[in-house]
Chain A
């Protein structure tokens, strides 16, 4: 069967950069799935995208499906033939399937023998199959927000589709979508290309000739190489910024970086402000000098081949100057009123209708900081932490809230500890972000987040599903991260302030943090948390210990034994009371286990006291031979009630004693897993 290359290009108006990769992934997966299900074969040779196109080339797609056979079962053989002659059931079945009775044969199945017929199915034409499926596939590509453009009720996509290339070999796969007929004509770069015919063979080359660098990797390389060439020999460097780079790769079809400059006088403005303007508002890379300090330059990435006359550079410099002037204007204007003079005006800024103003929140935060053991600097920082919300700078650059407060505090002579704590108190803004760098910062950050969590839970604003308008998950994760990484032994119950739902919510975030952020296995997380989670730094240490000890030979078998102990105790409804009566234990396995247990117990106690959980766990794991031997040789459920009670007590004590680091019965052992 001849095989052909398949080319699909969806030509659109500019798709938002951050949606492009996943849209392309969707298209590719759906086309691959459709080809596989239709038994058309094919291997993806190219999957690329720019703001204006999603493109896919699949090699080796069969022109037609292979012919196939289908086995059709008819009536039971006993009913179909009597004395070797076909009955009405057989002739009816043959007729229905368009064959002669002589073509019938018997097929053995689990339910008995049936007459059957093999039907030939002619393979369908790939072009026809694809013409039917591609429009559905294209409209099924997921985008977070879609639009219609042909009129109400029309197809929805991320932006209008303006052309579609669909070719199998040299033939157009004919279909129509949103008024666009599929064809073999593509469009190049808006200003550097034209409209042209393509084939699966010349597609990439044709685009290149029309000003489009199809490959995202190549666009990225062109940006990076271009930047390297721009700064070479100038003692400058450009800080890597993967997120910005990714944006620029998918906002251009022919990226070319240029180096621009600004008046060094603007360097008197805080670096954070300058970088934010360049990075977030202008999508520029900031540039550092040899000493790593911000240099009065920037790198902009154009969507065009070059700027021989410096027109684009000039334009960008002009825009940046205006933006920096604004920032300077805000800075100077804001200094007219100190942060400390802005506290009262927070009464006019609503935090949440039922939770009052930011002044109310500030008062609660100051109180919380006191309760959390923060000193005067932390309290001062909490008092001033939200004041920057009333500044023009933050109104303009909202992403700099906190940072601006910190900078202003410093400029206005507040102690450095206060300034730094204000600066950091929104941290961590994500699980990748670091926690505040100072103790005061951590306390203020905790107070801010805890207040938000308690307040919102208190009035029933509890996140559900994807709905989390107050970003409570992020706040709770921030609390967990600060407690663990800041080594703050604050009980979660205290954080929750008696709110059971909030306590459970925080526990969920603890699990998420250790499992998804730190990468611990879920059963390790369960085991450690089941042994208590009063203090998160302690949970962290126990987690690290159990992960370290887990690969050792004795660990998992011992965990299996603990599970067995737990089951035995549960079946016996046994509540451990009192000590083991050594005189009731026979020598051999029982006495040996007790001796080993008592010896281990005192060692473990010492290690646990030192929070050397790893050594403690190793000692516990070393009990395995005695535990195994006990189970091999001893019948726990002895006929004599006293003896039985004594044996159960031994096991119960063992379990209790060694479950304070982790509940081993929560560990999924490899025998269970398989």
Chain B
């Protein structure tokens, strides 16, 4: 039986063998691997790209103080982007399952319709949740739009929820019982983090401060977006730094949401504000990296 980290090594090796750059996690808080610039920005424009990386993904509202066996404030996603998607992509994906020791002749596998959409990112795609013996082990998406821009090349995004997948492989009923290494369990590595962040997110986060942060990051991002046009040397322009501000906004939004500080009415409006930034930055990225395609769009 492979350990948690062994499974990660094997998946990285598998996708590395298929031409993927193996990136390390992005160092700004994100709610999903999709939000990392390696996905959100790289899928834009006409240039092919293949990348895989582990991304710790923070979802403050999903925290359960480390008490629920299946729910985590932060979980690890293995994110794979193949742009454009090769014709045998699903076979390659099935191969990755075999690579981590799943005998496909002995398991039940179904592809169930599940179209992914992120209103915050102005992004959506068509795809499935992949079900293995009744468990969702992967989200598979053909991106169609990102940052409000129709994609030139359609990337396949494969997202494995590592904790869930490994708990399945190791036949553990709680993710906290997963063997991270031969002699260290998941709980020892992460339980305190789950507990303490749940306490902070649900009980102690200062919502006033969070609103201020949101506005600061929003303002900074918008300032950058607005100054692109007049900026003389486009290649030097900090589009990537502007995008970090979008991620900051998104994370603060999630914290506010978990704290119950955003009413349902406000919610749509705040999501719209983050989307406006994401769309703005995506437009800049296109202008900087694929000006021809950008003109074709306009």
Contacts and interface: CB of A to CB of B under 8 A. Distances in A.
B144 A147 contact: yes
Given A159-B126, A322-B69, A149 B154 contact: yes
Interface in A423-465: none
Contact of B109 (A190, A282, A319, A353): A190
B205 interface: no
B150 A152 contact: yes
Contacts of B154: 147-151
B94 A190 contact: yes
Give 6 closest A-B pairs by Cβ, nearest first.
A315-B133, A16-B113, A14-B111, A302-B108, A350-B264, A316-B134
Contact of B107 (A311, A318, A322): A311
A304 B111 contact: no
Interface in B81-118: 84-85, 87, 90, 94, 104-113, 115
Given A326-B68, A349-B264, A162 B87 contact: yes
Contacts of B71: 326
A145 B68 CA distance: 36
Contacts of A320: 134
Interface string B135-177: 1000000101000001111100000000000001001010000
B157 to A, nearest CB: 13
Given A149-B154, A315-B135, A321-B173, A13 B111 contact: yes
Interface of A: 13-14, 16-17, 51, 145, 147-152, 159-160, 162, 179, 190-192, 251-252, 282, 284, 300, 302-304, 307, 309, 311-312, 314-316, 318-322, 325-326, 329, 348-350, 353
B70 interface: yes
Interface in B55-92: 68-71, 84-85, 87, 90
B210 interface: no
30 contacts: A14-B111, A14-B113, A145-B115, A147-B125, A147-B126, A147-B142, A147-B144, A149-B85, A152-B152, A160-B85, A251-B112, A284-B134, A303-B108, A304-B109, A311-B106, A311-B107, A315-B108, A315-B135, A318-B133, A318-B171, A319-B133, A320-B134, A321-B173, A322-B69, A325-B70, A326-B68, A326-B70, A329-B68, A348-B260, A350-B265
Contact of B144 (A148, A304, A314, A319): A148
A302 B133 CA distance: 8
Given A152-B153, A159-B126, A353-B265, 15 more contacts: A14-B128, A147-B126, A147-B142, A147-B144, A151-B153, A151-B154, A162-B87, A190-B109, A252-B110, A315-B168, A319-B135, A322-B69, A326-B68, A349-B264, A350-B265
B68 A312 contact: no
Instruction: Specify which of B68, B87, B94 lies most central, judged by the most chain A CB atoms within 10 Å of its CB.
Output: B87
Contacts of B171: 314, 318
A353 B263 CA distance: 11
Contacts of A160: 85, 87, 142
A350 B269 CA distance: 13
Contact of B110 (A149, A303, A348, A353): A303
Interface string B167-205: 010010100000000000000000000000000000000
Nearest to B269: A353
Contacts of B69: 322, 325
Task: Say whether chain B's binding surface is mostly helix, strand, loop, or mixed.
Answer: loop
A315 B109 CA distance: 12
Contacts of B264: 348-350
Contacts of B287: none
A322 B173 contact: yes
Contacts of A13: 90, 111
A17 B112 CA distance: 8
B108 A304 contact: yes
B141 to A, nearest CB: 10
A179 B85 CA distance: 13
Nearest to B104: A191
B142 A348 contact: no
B107 A312 contact: yes
B132 interface: yes
A14 B133 CA distance: 17
Nearest to A311: B106
Contacts of A192: 105
B152 A191 contact: no
B136 to A, nearest CB: 9
A513 B25 CA distance: 58
A192 B105 CA distance: 8
B263 A145 contact: no
A145 B263 CA distance: 31
Given A151-B154, A152-B150, A191-B104, A350 B173 contact: no
Contacts of B68: 326, 329
A262 to B, nearest CB: 12
Contacts of A318: 133, 135, 168, 171, 173
A329 B133 CA distance: 23
Given A145-B115, A318-B171, A191 B265 contact: no
A212 to B, nearest CB: 15
